[in-house]
Amino acid sequence: MSVQTGIVMLNLGGPATLDEVGPFLVRLFADREIIQLPLQAWLGPFIARRRTAAVQENYRLIGGGSPILRWTTIQGEGMIRWLDRLSPATAPHRFYVAFRYAPPFSEDALRQMQADGVQRAVAFTQYPQFSCATTGSSLNELWRAARRLGLSNAFSWSVIDRWPTHPGFIEAMTRSVQLGLEQFPAAERDNVLLLFSAHSLPLKIIDRGDPYPQEIGASVQAVMERLGFAYEYLLAYQSAVGPVRWLGPQTEQVIKQLGAQGRRNVLVVPIAFTSDHIETLAEIDHEYGELAHRVGITNFKRVPALNDDENFQRTLADLVADHLASGRNHSRQYPLRCPGCTSDQCRNLLNPVASPESVELAHNSQLRL
C-alpha cells in the first residue's frame, strides 16, 4: 500500500559513531544560517578539526554516539500509531527523519518518500521554538535537496513551523519538571530553583529580529503558569561555540553565580530539547554537573527528557492531525521575515498545497529566487 501522507521530522541530528563526529562538525560550521565566520570555507573546517577530539570524548562519555535518531524513531512510530486513528482521511501516514548535519539527510527522506508513493507531505520541525538558524535552516535545506533530486513537484507540501506553547507540549514539560522535583528530598523541594536552559544562538542572528528568544520565553512562561509559579526560576542558554558573540546569559556562568550565592538545590529544565542527546547527556549531566559540585550546589539535577513518553507521542500526533484538518499550510507567523533578513531563501514553501496564503507565499518565493 502506498503512503498517502508523509511526515518529515526535521532536527539537527547527531553523529551515531565517533568516526562521524568530524564530518558532523564540518557540516555544522559550514552552515552560514547558524553561524557566520570570516573566511568560512577555511575557518569552518579549521574549527571543526580543532574541536573533533574534544567532542569525540563527550560522545564517548554517553556511549560512543548520539541517541537522537533512536529517540526520534521511537517518537515517530508512536506519532504514526496515533495519527492513523486521529486522521483516517489522510492515512496511511509514515514518518521520515531528515537531519541537518548527520544521516539520515533530507535527500534520504525524499528518496524514500518517492519510493513509497507519498503525495501529501508535511515538514514537521522538532524544534518547538522557531529560529531561522534551526527550523529555518532545516526547511531551506529540505527545499534545496528536493530541487537537487529533481523532486520539486513530487509532493504537495505544508509545514508545522513552530509549537512553543502547544498545550500538549507544555503539559509534557510540566510533567517532566514534576518528575524532576521528585529527585529532591521532600523537605528541600520548596527551595529548588528551576534553571530553564535552551541552546544559544549567535547574537548576529538575534539582532536581525529572529523570534527565538521570545518563543523560548513563551514556553518558559507557559510551564511556570502550569506549575502555578510555585518555584523560583531562571532562563539561560548553553552550547555556545566559535569566535562570535552568543545569546546569554550562559548556563555555565549562571551555575557558577548560583553557587556563589549559596544555592544548593537546582533543577535544570532543557526547554528547547524534546529528547536526550549530547547537550543533555554530556553538557548538562557531566560538564555542568561537575561544575555545580565544584561551586557547592549539592543537589543539581535535570528533568527527564521526553524520549519515549507516550503522552508526548500523542502530542506530536495531535499537532499533525490539527494541522492537516486546518487546511493551513503554515503558521500565521511563518511568512514574516526578520526585519534585518538579507537571505533570498527564508520563508519559502516548495510546491505548497493550494490555499490562499500558500499561493501568496509561493508567489513571493518565486520573486526572490
DSSP string, 78-125: HHHHHHHHH-GGG-SEEEEEEESSSSS-HHHHHHHHHHHT--EEEEEE
Strands 299-302 and 120-125, sheet pairing: unpaired
Q: How many other C-beta atoms are found inside a 10 Å radius of the C-beta of residue 115?
A: 10
* Catalytic residue set: 166, 318
- Residues 242-246: contacts with CB under 8 Å, at least 24 apart: 242/29, 242/35, 242/37, 242/47, 242/202, 243/37, 244/35, 244/36, 244/37, 244/202, 244/203, 244/204, 245/202, 245/203, 245/204, 246/200, 246/201, 246/202, 246/203
Does 199 show up as a binding residue in the annotation?
A: yes
Determine the Cα–Cα distance for residues 299 and 267; give it in Å rounded to an integer. Answer: 8
Does 357 show up as a binding residue in the annotation?
A: no
Which residue numbers belong to the known binding site for Fe(2+)?
199, 279
